Amino acid sequence: MDILRRPSVPECRGHKRFLITAVLLVLLMSCKDNFSNVQTIGISENEPIGVAEQIHLKYTDSGRIKAILVSPKMLDYSNREFAFSEFPEGIVLDLFDEDHNKSVVVADYAINYDKTNLIDLQGNVRIATHNKDTLFAEQLYYDQDKEWLFTNKPVTFKTESDIIHGNIFDSDTKFNNASVLEPTGNITVEE
């Protein structure tokens, strides 16, 4: 009956201490300073880190209002490697020049890429300037650093005297150097 007898307590204690010590050492060796990883627990990379509703944002420079952004919703994806802000329900953006003239940008959808300062406007994009020039497009990009607008999608550009349709648009934000490529429509030519 000695075969079925359990070993005495002192024989087990040494073995248990060794196992507990080994497990603790493995756990301690695998611990690192992963505070940034801990902060992202529960946040999927595919989900926004923040959601803002009923935005009315004013951008000022030297005490002068340069822009007013209004949007029903903004999704903040600054938790991504290539950070961006998305406006899934559209935007209305009022832009003011040095003389306080207002131009208005409207789009059904917009996305602002932080690293490149590029804004992608999509769906019924309309820009109306204080000079009464109006640009209509399905998609338009705005380079904030260069203050430049461009697209390779069909556009309609209305001035006081012309209505120009084209497939490519390229211009500064004041429409001083506006180019409509592959144009069709009524164009006034000075002799």
Task: State how many domains the chain has.
Answer: 2
Question: Which has the minimum average pLDDT: 40-49, 84-93, 127-136?
Answer: 40-49
Evaluate whether residue 138 is within a structural domain.
yes
Question: Does residue 98 have a pLDDT over 60?
Answer: yes
Residue-level pLDDT at 29: 55
Residues 126 and 65 in one domain: yes
| H-assigned helices in the chain | 9-30, 35-39
Longest CA pairwise span in the chain (Å): 120
pLDDT of amino acid 3: 46
Q: Which of 36-50, 61-75, 154-168 has the lowest mean pLDDT?
A: 36-50
Sequence-distant contacts of 169-176: CB under 8 A, at least 24 apart = 169/135, 169/137, 169/140, 172/147, 172/148, 173/95, 173/103, 173/142, 173/147, 173/148, 173/149, 174/97, 174/129, 175/129, 175/131, 175/133, 175/135
For the chain, what is the mean pLDDT? 81
Considering the domain architecture, whether residues 16 and 104 belong to the same structural domain is answered as no
Tell me: do 104 and 13 sit in the same domain. Answer: no
Please give the pLDDT value at position 153: 94
Asked if residue 30 and residue 111 are part of one domain, the reply reads: no
Q: Examine the domain organization and report whether 19 and 88 are in the same domain.
A: no
- Whether 69 and 128 map to the same domain: the answer is yes
- Are 82 and 145 within one domain? yes
Mean predicted confidence (pLDDT) in 6-34: 55
State residue 173's pLDDT score. Answer: 81
Q: Considering the entire predicted model, what is its pTM?
A: 0.70
User: Does residue 62 share a domain with residue 30?
Assistant: no
CATH of the domain at 149: 2.60.450.10
In the predicted model, what is the mean pLDDT of residues 28-46? Answer: 56
One domain for residues 165 and 108 = yes
Residue 74 and residue 147 in one domain = yes
The verdict on residue 45 lying in a domain is no
| Sequence-ordered strand ranges (E) for the chain | 50-61, 64-77, 84-87, 91-96, 102-107, 109-113, 118-128, 134-143, 148-151, 155-158, 163-166, 168-172, 179-181, 184-186
Q: What value does the mean pLDDT take over residues 86-114?
A: 93
Same domain flag for 57 and 147: yes
For residues 119 and 29, membership in a common domain is answered with no
pLDDT given for residue 181 in this prediction: 87
Residue-range definition of the domain harbouring residue 18: 2-39
